[in-house]
Structure formats: C-alpha cells, structure tokens
Amino acid sequence: MTILLTGDSITDAGRDRDDLASLGSGYAALVAADLPGERVINTGISGHRVVDLQARWDVDVLAHAPDVLSIMIGINDTWRRYDNDDPTSAESYEAGYRDLLTRAQAAGIARILLVEPFLLPVRPDQWDWREDLDPKIAAVRRLAEEFGVEFVATDGPYAQAASRTGAAALAADGVHPSPEGHRFLADRWLEVFRTV
C-alpha cells in the first residue's frame, strides 16, 4: 500500500525534496514508523497554500497513484493575510480544496483523509486569526462530508491538550508543532486511519 501525505510545512517538516524516501522529522515520519509494512511518501512543501497544491497536484500527488491520500492545508491561507496582506477568502479556499478532491477521486484514489488546519495562539494577536481560520476549518469539515472521505480533527484536540500543557509546548509559534506536537498529530491521524 502507498500512503501519500501532502500539504505545507507541517507535513514537509524539513524533508529532502530531492529524495522521495525522505519523510522529514514530523508527523509523516512518525506515521511511517508506526506503519512499517506500508510505503509512505511525503510531498508537503513549506509555505504552500491551496492554490499551490492545485498547481502541483498532478506531479506531486496523482503521479504516485497512492492508495491512501492525506491532505493538510490551510494555515498559510490564513497566515499570509496577517503577515503579507495577501488573504485567501474562505470561498476561494473551499473551491480550491474541492478541486483537489474532485481530481483525486476522478483519478481513482480510494481512501482520502482530510486533516483540518489548526492554530494554537501563543501571542495575543494570533487570536485575531481565528476570524479567518475558523471558516476554513468549517469548509474542510463540509468537504469531508460532501465527498464521503475521512476527517482528522486537530484544532479542538490540540486546544484541549494545550489547556493542560500550554500551547507553546505543542507549537512554539502557534503553528509549527514541536516534537510533542507532531507526536500528538500522528496519533490523531493513526487513530482515524486504523478505525476503518
């Protein structure tokens, strides 16, 4: 079985993009370690948004004909609004994400897991990001139902865990998981993967 995980820096996690066997140091590598009998591919690219994933979908996803596809994208669609004044509307985000799923199912990918974006505010200004991110999280939840694919909840579970550990213990900047944060994400992913 080939399992392909794609998305942004959270999936990328420092992988060597010239080496398809490189999984980085994040949740993708942990998933692979916990599923030693499966072939795991990581095509996450740091900084990417939905529109970037659309542009590279054929080469970085469909060309590998995965049996299982995992998508985690969206935090940069929010972040760029606040650091570069380059917003992505919730409508554009949902339309782009719908295009990815339509193309994936048309290509015959049998099993798809949608990992919702999350935010663990560690600075007061990051609470303002919720206005932008929450509608995008809602869009991922709607799309999972619309396409009949699996959904990996992260935002609520991370918030619950952060209430015990503090947000910075899971993601020092509120976005990029620490080693503990990646383990938490991998466990949520594996829980859904193993449910079926």
Both tokens assigned to 66:
């995965």
Catalytic residue (choose from 22, 64, 176, 187): 176
Q: Where are the alpha helices (DSSP H) in 4-83?
A: 9-12, 27-34, 50-60, 75-83
Contact (CB, 8 A) for 141 and 116? yes
Side chain identity, residue 27:
Y
Residue 163: active-site member: no
Catalytic residue (choose from 8, 9, 77, 182): 9
Strands 39-42 and 68-72: unpaired
Catalytic residue (choose from 16, 58, 86, 173): 173
Helix 90-106 and helix 50-60: axis angle, to 10°? 10
Question: Which of 47, 60, 128, 132 shows the shortest CA–CA distance to 100?
Answer: 60
Residue 173: active-site member: yes
Residue 89: active-site member: no
Rounded CA separation 171/98 (Å): 28
**Residues 6 or more apart whose Cβ sits within 8 Å of residue 97:** 50, 71, 73, 139, 140, 143
Catalytically active residues are 9, 173, 176
